[in-house]
Chains A and B, each alone.
Chain A
């Protein structure tokens, strides 16, 4: 049994979570692949339990420059989903997404880049949650995107604060995407609400 804050997860439950996040990321990877016409691969999904203070380290270091998109989701299950790219990846993705676009000035360019990334996040988060909704035959709705571009530690501390209200440990459901064709690195992390875990396990047939 793996225990976090008095909730024990059995091996079967952890496997179920890995399968779900793998599926979600695979759908997102397919969407991204279609958008930029490159092969996108999903790395082995990780379910890690770590003290909150160690989370930035686990995700690449608190000083890593990233662009992050944060969403809340509601419906039969609730929670949050966070997608982030290293800054270089975000810049590269923007190039693909705004191909051949010309800008009249730097500030317009920045606004359009931000919009493009928010929209990308929207598409990827929707794909991820649609995969889960289909798998579980339920309804899930997504919030508008919240965008941040800064050091990883500062960007994720909002999520760590949410977790810290209940426990000193974070359950990280994390998948990484990459491409053999271009240098991109992206993470998908989902934070289901505590009550939603029960619903997930019941739904897939394990109690």
Chain B
């Protein structure tokens, strides 16, 4: 999960996270109801990107080999890895994207609101870890791709329907 390669774009898959530093670029696609969480340390140029699926590990009934499946375990595992790489937690900033409700229907269905619950859970964990959220593109009804440039802390969010924006 940890890599120190510079200048390359490193993909982060579903239920996974990666940490890197300096000129590395982290990218994740397919953010529908999932949430992509960027953590970065602008002082030490360390960054991480997680792609989480579910709000809380306590709802899981089975063993998993993917800590980043859940907002709580994923964010905390990523914080730990960033500190190992030289990051200072009190410098950390977060940017988040995703948590959409991708489906529309004649009648709204609360079961489809997992995206919203994921965003809430992510915000809760970040607040508990005292990491401020400085950029956000969440909710609504479109899929997103997130690209994170560790060097500058820049995060680009792309969507099929609405083009590109920076958060």
Contacts and interface: CB of A to CB of B under 8 A. Distances in A.
Nearest to B114: A161
Given A166-B62, A168-B65, A150 B15 contact: no
Contact of A157 (B53, B64, B159): B53
Contact of B105 (A144, A153, A157, A158): A144
Contact of B32 (A150, A164, A168): A150
B75 interface: no
Nearest to B111: A72
B31 interface: yes
B150 interface: no
B44 to A, nearest CB: 29
A52 interface: yes
B160 A151 contact: yes
Given A150-B161, A164-B69, A168-B65, A158 B31 contact: no
B66 A158 contact: no
Among B34, B102, B144, B160, find the residue whose CB has the most chain A CB atoms closer than 10 A: B102
A53 interface: yes
B61 to A, nearest CB: 6
Contacts of B145: 151
Interface stretch (A62-70, A100-108, A126-134): A62-70
Interface residues of A, number: 31
Chain B at the A interface: SS class: loop
Given A164-B15, A164-B53, A147 B105 contact: yes
A157 B61 contact: no
A71 to B, nearest CB: 10
Interface string B25-60: 000011111100000000000000000011000011
A59 to B, nearest CB: 11
A146 B105 contact: yes
B104 A146 contact: yes
A165 interface: yes
Contact of B143 (A52, A151, A160, A167): A151
Contacts of A114: 104
B32 A156 contact: yes
Contacts of B104: 114, 146-148
10 contacts: A52-B53, A114-B104, A154-B142, A154-B143, A155-B143, A157-B14, A158-B32, A160-B53, A161-B33, A165-B61
Interface of B: 13-16, 29-34, 53-54, 59-62, 64-66, 69, 100, 102-107, 109, 112, 114, 142-145, 159-161
